[in-house]
Structure 1
């Protein structure tokens, strides 16, 4: 009987190359980090402005100012009882939430409609720091410079993120190792500018609970109406950071990690071209 020669089975390499998995992981982390950092910059919950009730009541009594809480003590209405300065005018002390270039009143539309019946001013409820208007409230020089610097750093971060994405797509599609390396450097630069923005926002306000009697912030954030009525009460404000700042720190960590992955990807591509990764 004729012996049948067994044909050796060819090894079927059906698995995905590890370098290809690394490439996919890099692209996924790049998308997540860019989206997180852009979302943090574009949202307007970097800081909240609230009024401390006990301190506000004490200051109102000391300055002969009538204080009335509205909407379940969510905001306050003040009037000058002497009627010499205000002439019966009223000012609203409202909670606010702010971003890098905006500061908006934290009230719902229904609440604003209710307040409009008792004299709530029908003015824009958001202040845009990018607007160059002569009617803009006076701000201290140092704080104005810090605000402009934070806006500049945030805009540069967004521009670098967009440019890095384009360069990264070009480097991957055209198998350009230098472009991939530049992408890693650009993401590191975006993380650096984002960190500058976060630090400036964090240290922009010098007012603290322990120094409530000192006016460390002479802006009128949180005041709607004639501002001279609220000047004796400004030390009752509290500025607190919010979830956009935490989201920004998370974005900085992910962007920095993304930068390292892109730099390592350029080293991998030097020995394993992308065409062989995906086979």
Structure 2
């Protein structure tokens, strides 16, 4: 009698064990998916901007023939072993340029783009005119806010960038809400809450997919649109009394003006000649985001299956017992 009783208890525990393991596996996969997606969104290594120095050397002769004043010349210099390039305009008989831009390597996230420079490198560049005090540029500067003038409205790239930011924020909100709803559903054995958690994780994966797709096509569009950057810099008027650093991004990603003179219409086309030498590469944050989306979809399926299992097996009761 005692032996059969022990066998019955072991059989009961053995019957619950797969369900408990399924719950633990679901929680583990969900934690990994949430951590990966949140880390991808919050980090700023979605893309890297660099400059092809060989391509710059090929552009220099054509840029030199640009129709500037006879007493002006263009000077191209590299610093930090070709890591940073300075394009300067100076007078023929003067040693120091009166305006210049720096072509910087940068790394960016969903809403910021930061120069890939150490403090020591910045101090060295300060000696040759680099004066940007803020290492990062926001993708939503006041310049691109909606205005009444059609020619001053942001182009499709900046509109899509704003949309990607919105999708990323919605994704973070859904992930936080899913964690609360899922914990409530498991602890209180609320099958409907568990089912809703699965749907919410699928929704979070959908918004994250929108963000990843927008970022992908944003850079693909940069490669094909050619001279549209010139059109942008030629049509935008700069308000008076505004510092050059505030409108750093008007010259394009990775281009930092040494002073406000670099933003004048006469010189902006000079810098635009070198835009084809810009190289965009995918960063590890984007790969982390794709992994997070995949795990979110899998976690969604597991949560939906978990709701079916909980309908017939009180998993939470066995855990709390």
TM-score between the two structures when normalised by the length of structure 2: 0.77
Count of residues in correspondence between the two structures: 268
Partner of 2:126: 116
Please give the residue correspondences for 1:109-258 in structure 2 after superposition, counting only pairs within 5 Å: 109-130=119-140, 132-134=141-143, 140-205=154-219, 206-208=221-223, 214-217=226-229, 220-225=252-257, 226-227=262-263, 228=268, 229-258=270-299
> Is the 2:144–2:154 Cα contact (8 Å) retained in structure 1?
no
Residues 1:76 and 1:200: Cα distance change in structure 2 (over 3 Å)? same
SS in 1 for 2:273: helix
Shift, 1:140, TM fit: 4.6
Q: CA RMSD in A?
A: 2.4
- Runs of 4+ aligned structure 1 residues displaced above 4 Å come to 216-219
Q: Deviations over 1:65-97 (max 9, x none)?
A: 2111100110101111457xx962221110111
Superposed CA deviations along residues 190-232 of structure 1, whole A, max 9, x for unmatched, are 0000001000000012233xx59x2255551111112524122
The residue number in structure 2 matching 1:91 is 101
CA contact (8 A) 1:121 1:224 kept: no
| CA contact 1:207–1:238 (8 Å) conserved in 2 | no
The 1:215–1:241 alpha-carbon spacing in structure 2 relative to 1, beyond 3 Å, is farther
Classify the secondary structure of the residue corresponding to 1:62. helix
Name the CA distance, whole Å, in 1 between partners of 2:188 and 2:204: 23
Structure 1: 5+ residue stretches without partners: 1-5
| Counterparts of 2:189 and 2:228, CA distance in 1 | 54
SS in 1 for 2:20: helix
Deviates more, 1:116-125 or 1:255-264: 116-125
CA–CA distance in 1 between the matches of 2:316 and 2:87?
70
Q: Secondary structure of 1:100's partner?
A: coil
Instruction: Quote the Cα distance in structure 2 between the aligned partners of 1:257 and 1:139.
Output: 40
Q: Secondary structure at the match of 1:67?
A: strand
Residue 63 of structure 1 corresponds to 63
In structure 1, how many angstroms separate the alpha carbons of the residues matched to 2:110 and 2:75?
A: 34
Provide structure 2 residue ranges, at least 5 long, that are not aligned to the other structure.
65-73, 146-151, 233-250
Q: Could you say which residue in structure 1 is the equivalent of 2:52?
A: 52
TM-score (norm 1): 0.88
Aligned to 1:36: 36
CA distance in 1, matches of 2:42, 2:304: 28
Find the aligned partners of 2:153 and 2:271 in 1 and give their Cα distance.
Answer: 16
- Look up the SS of the partner of 2:129 in the other structure: coil
